[in-house]
Homo-oligomer: A and B are copies of this chain.
């Protein structure tokens, strides 16, 4: 039985001091739930036997509120989000690190639950959390817990995923329904009740990506449409590649309950964050192959072809991203200046 996890026990400033209290917290919560041979080395710097190849490195600070929501929590979200960022480089993740900034007074029981969920997400994904750090800040200088995760991965030989590869005529695919994560968070935050509970799509996509790049090595680019949603992701890619893009609204998968919630709340699913979806741009004649691979994975079940890359256009040209609407018109899909939902991830 843990001596730390007494009923009602909370995180104190001493847990961040680097002394005995920190050591106990790390052993009884993080080391227990994250258990793996590399972390067990117990060095500040974890040693990893990396296969040879090009490395990728990615980092994310997670400040989602609330900390727990339908479909996940800040711990599983941090693991999935960082794995996905590594995977979007076409790489296979090999290790994660996690740094915690905890607010004084945070219930140790909640921290334990989040660490457990985080450890489970990492184990399920087959990517160990190899090193970490814990800091504690005074009450009123945090919000429960923030988690910064970093991932490293190895890019297989021959894979060169980059916006520069995008060319006119290519196909634009998404791996599933849009808006689930953002609407799940918002519903929870606002105490909204829908007839169906809307759950976050938070999921690790690296296994699906491994099969996609193995089947179609000439995939141009992969991106996860998180903050800012699909519109921010595609606007950024169109800008970086200097092309126009046209989407077909009727083809974009959105769950009816998410569409309903968006209508109620005056939101556009195109702008809402996703945490278990990817956008793939590939040569048009390989689109069906990519769709087949995605649909063979549970996380790509609802994959769809949603648009086409158009002509070259000078970066900075307004209206690079357009959509053919349900009623047959055309509208520009702009990115929002801000995010309608702060602290979504």
Binding site for B on A (CB under 8 A): 12-14, 16-23, 41-50, 52, 54-63, 85-86, 88-89, 91, 95, 97-101, 130-138, 140-143, 146, 148, 150-153, 155, 162-163, 223-224, 226-228, 232, 236, 240, 273, 335-339, 342-343
**Top 5 A-B pairs, shortest CB-CB distance:** A18-B227, A17-B339, A14-B338, A148-B148, A45-B89
CA distance A227 to B14 in the complex (A): 11
CB distance from A271 to the nearest CB of B (A): 8
Which secondary structure dominates chain A's binding surface? Answer: mixed
CA distance A46 to B41 in the complex (A): 27
CA distance A60 to B148 in the complex (A): 9
A38's nearest neighbour on chain B, judged by CB, is B57
B58 touches A97 (CB 8 A): yes
8 CB < 8 A contacts A-B: A12-B338, A43-B89, A44-B58, A45-B58, A49-B54, A60-B133, A61-B99, A61-B148
Contacts of A232 in B (CB 8 A): 18-19
CB distance from A267 to the nearest CB of B (A): 13
CB distance from A67 to the nearest CB of B (A): 12
CA distance A18 to B235 in the complex (A): 12
Contacts of A153 in B (CB 8 A): 45
Most chain B beta-carbon contacts within 10 A, residue among A49, A54, A142, A162 = A142
CB distance from A156 to the nearest CB of B (A): 13
A42's nearest neighbour on chain B, judged by CB, is B240
Contacts of A13 in B (CB 8 A): 338-339, 342
CA distance A167 to B62 in the complex (A): 42
Contacts of A55 in B (CB 8 A): 47-50, 55, 152
A273's nearest neighbour on chain B, judged by CB, is B18
Contacts of A49 in B (CB 8 A): 54-55
Contacts of A17 in B (CB 8 A): 227-228, 336-339, 342
B150 touches A44 (CB 8 A): no
Indicate which residue in B150, B163, B273, B336 contacts A59 across the interface (CB closer than 8 Å). B150
B47 touches A56 (CB 8 A): yes
CB distance from A155 to the nearest CB of B (A): 7
